[in-house]
Structure 1
Amino acid sequence: MQKKSDPTEDGPASSDFNYELPQDLIAQSPAAKRDGSRMMRVHRERAVRPEASLVRSLADYLEQGDLLVRNRTRVFPARLRGQRLPGGGAVEVLLLQASPDQGPDCWQALAKPLKRLRPEQKLSFSGGGSDGGTIEARVRAIRNGYLWLDFAPGTEVLACAERLGEIPLPPYIERPEGPTPEDRARYQTIYASDTGSVAAPTAGLHLTEAIFESLALKDVGVAEVVLHVGAATFLSGQPGRGSGTVEPETYFVPEET
């Protein structure tokens, strides 16, 4: 059964989580090897200071009978670049999810420049991918900063995105020329299988087959869930407590988990 998680009505304000992060501490490219990334070990005893380690050492900190839960969601190339019709002005769209309640071929999206778009306007997408081709869509509605697009009946939107789209790297990763082929491979976990995310479950990006083999040798269990990461990665949080600004996300817990 697939469900959507909902934000609670009460809770901390988004401003409670603000902190300073120097720009030069944000890595713009991944470590040479996935498991070569740094990992902080936090001890259960509060009197002991955290210590630095590497992800490849994960098995050293787990014991027989422990359980590692991983998210097998797959990021799809959700960013489409194209033109507004008529006129040819540039437009960029980030596909979020199908919206069958709005229409059989309707998708919810983010777009820029959103203020230049109008209902019934046509858009043509052909950029970002390497296989060529073009798809068109019509703006159905614009509400609360979101866009709803109607594609032609029967359009395989996900398949078209795989051909034409770009991996939607988060805004703190700077790629003036657009994502690279390496980004497309590395911004994905090695066990990703269920397509639906517009951002990666980042902790899992560092896990390798060697790590899972070392966990199996220690009889550490591995279970899977699916949580499709949504638009929140690309949106600025709004101040306020219990304001409902955290977007729901679709999740699935397999019976075996």
Structure 2
Amino acid sequence: MRVDLFDFDLPPERIALRPAVPRDAARMLVAEGPTGLSDRIVSDLPQILRPGDCLVFNDTRVIPAQLEGTRGQARIGATLHKRLGLRSWQAFVRNGKRVRAGDRIDFGGGVTAIAGPKDADGAIALDFEGDEPVELLLERAGQMPLPPYIAAKRPTDARDAQDYQTMFAREDGAVAAPTAALHFTPALVDALAVRGVLTQTLTLHVGAGTFLPVKAQDTQDHHMHAEWGRIEPQAADRLNAVRAAGGRIIAVGTTSLRLLESATGEDGIIRPFADETRIFITPGYRFRAIDGLMTNFHLPRSTLFMLVSALMGRERMQAAYAHAIAQGYRFYSYGDSSLLLP
């Protein structure tokens, strides 16, 4: 399909620079069935979902993967996006033309890395020196990797260390937050449990490739970056039992959705999974694992807007986004939410 079919105009002032306080006070646009559209707030979820439904969360934890350093007199920026080994990460590098294989980059605080060769997409492998775990080095020298559409408007600060982390975060490895779950609070999760709504976690380490623009003119020419995920056997069994009992599986975030779909066969059975996924979901895809999606509002022409268009229909999502813009919804990572129920 042509990528320009997924374009829309978004006023810059609709981009949220801070999350709602409290988190579950964010607005939520509910699109249900072929025509239903209603304006709610996230804390309404217990009144919207049914007993026996299951919300599936991504428990990945964002690491401070944004580094600023020098190679000689040249200033170098690096955003880690994929672990390659115990001390090696692949990174997107700003001013990468000044970096050659074998160069040492100094990120401050005693944190240094040796550059490897460049990949075809310009990414560079960084091998961190020393014996400390890389996670400790990043805590010392790194910053929270805010999306470029936020970072371009304000600097990262101490608030982001908490704001850009979900309440479910426990598995280190993401360089971008599974932002749909940023709206959840312990009080909301408790209210959902009282309602009889189940919760389940899985792990997909979100990579920085999620922010890369689609440069191809046609979706078939776009190549997704790989992300590593895991669904434990007990989690797969529990989710299959939910469906067998008539409950709906509702992914909280496109990352949870993509992992579930990667682990599900044509028979609709979710299987244990521990591997990379490059799944790219566009209109025409037949969903096998999920019955709904809670997600934030996405970039024009992005793979994520293509995904929600595959779930609900492209024209339906164009109309829903036009409604959200007209009604003042806040967009992107720190913005408001949507609940999509085909």
Shorter-chain TM range is 0.7 to 0.9
Matches within 5 A, 1:185-224: 185-224=162-201
Amino acid at match of 1:67: C
In the alignment, the residues of structure 2 paired with residue 119 and residue 95 of structure 1 have an alpha-carbon distance, to the nearest angstrom, of 17
TM-score (normalised: structure 1): 0.85
Q: How many Å apart are 1:13 and its aligned residue?
A: 4.7
Question: Could you report, residue by residue, the CA deviation over 1:77-117 in whole angstroms, capped at 9, with x for unpaired residues?
Answer: 00011111x3x2211111122213xxx53221011111121
| Counterpart residue number, 2:47 | 60
Report if aligned partners of 1:189, 1:204 keep a CA contact under 8 Å in 2.
yes
In the alignment, the residues of structure 2 paired with residue 218 and residue 75 of structure 1 have an alpha-carbon distance, to the nearest angstrom, of 30
Amino acid at match of 1:118: R
Question: Could you report, residue by residue, the CA deviation over 1:183-231 in whole angstroms, capped at 9, with x for unpaired residues?
Answer: 1101010110011111111110001111110111011111111111112
| Counterpart residue number, 1:105 | 87
Q: Does 1:43 align with 2:32?
A: yes
Larger CA deviation: 220-229 vs 167-176: 167-176
Instruction: Report the 3-state secondary structure (helix = DSSP H, G, I; strand = E; otherwise coil) of the residue aligned with 2:136.
Output: helix
Q: Does 1:248 align with 2:226?
A: yes
| Counterpart residue number, 1:138 | 114
Higher-RCO chain (CA-CA 8 Å, sequence separation at least 6)? 1
Point out where structure 2 has 5 or more consecutive residues left out of the alignment.
Answer: 236-342
Q: How many Å apart are 1:153 and its aligned residue?
A: 4.9
Point out where structure 1 has 5 or more consecutive residues left out of the alignment.
Answer: 1-11, 127-132
| Counterpart residue number, 2:75 | 90
In the alignment, the residues of structure 2 paired with residue 177 and residue 47 of structure 1 have an alpha-carbon distance, to the nearest angstrom, of 38
Question: Could you report, residue by residue, the CA deviation over 1:113-168 in whole angstroms, capped at 9, with x for unpaired residues?
Answer: 11121111110002xxxxxx221111111122101112225341111111211100
Residues 200 and 63 of structure 1: CA distance in aligned 2, closer, same or farther (over 3 Å): same
Instruction: Report the 3-state secondary structure (helix = DSSP H, G, I; strand = E; otherwise coil) of the residue aligned with 1:42.
Output: strand
Question: Could you report, residue by residue, the CA deviation over 1:38-78 in whole angstroms, capped at 9, with x for unpaired residues?
Answer: 1011122x243x11111111111011111111111111100
In the alignment, the residues of structure 2 paired with residue 75 and residue 52 of structure 1 have an alpha-carbon distance, to the nearest angstrom, of 30
Amino acid at match of 1:182: R
Q: Does 1:225 align with 2:223?
A: no
Q: How many Å apart are 1:175 and its aligned residue?
A: 5.7
The root-mean-square deviation of aligned C-alpha atoms, in Å, is 1.7
In the alignment, the residues of structure 2 paired with residue 92 and residue 201 of structure 1 have an alpha-carbon distance, to the nearest angstrom, of 23
Sequence identity percentage? 34
In the alignment, the residues of structure 1 paired with residue 219 and residue 50 of structure 2 have an alpha-carbon distance, to the nearest angstrom, of 39
Report if aligned partners of 2:80, 2:208 keep a CA contact under 8 Å in 1.
no
Q: Does 1:151 align with 2:128?
A: yes
Q: How many Å apart are 1:234 and its aligned residue?
A: 2.9
In the alignment, the residues of structure 2 paired with residue 138 and residue 149 of structure 1 have an alpha-carbon distance, to the nearest angstrom, of 6
| Counterpart residue number, 1:28 | 17
Residues 17 and 154 of structure 1: CA distance in aligned 2, closer, same or farther (over 3 Å): farther
Count of paired positions: 233
In the alignment, the residues of structure 1 paired with residue 151 and residue 201 of structure 2 have an alpha-carbon distance, to the nearest angstrom, of 31
Q: How many Å apart are 1:180 and its aligned residue?
A: 1.0
Q: Does 1:114 align with 2:107?
A: no
Report if aligned partners of 1:224, 1:254 keep a CA contact under 8 Å in 2.
no
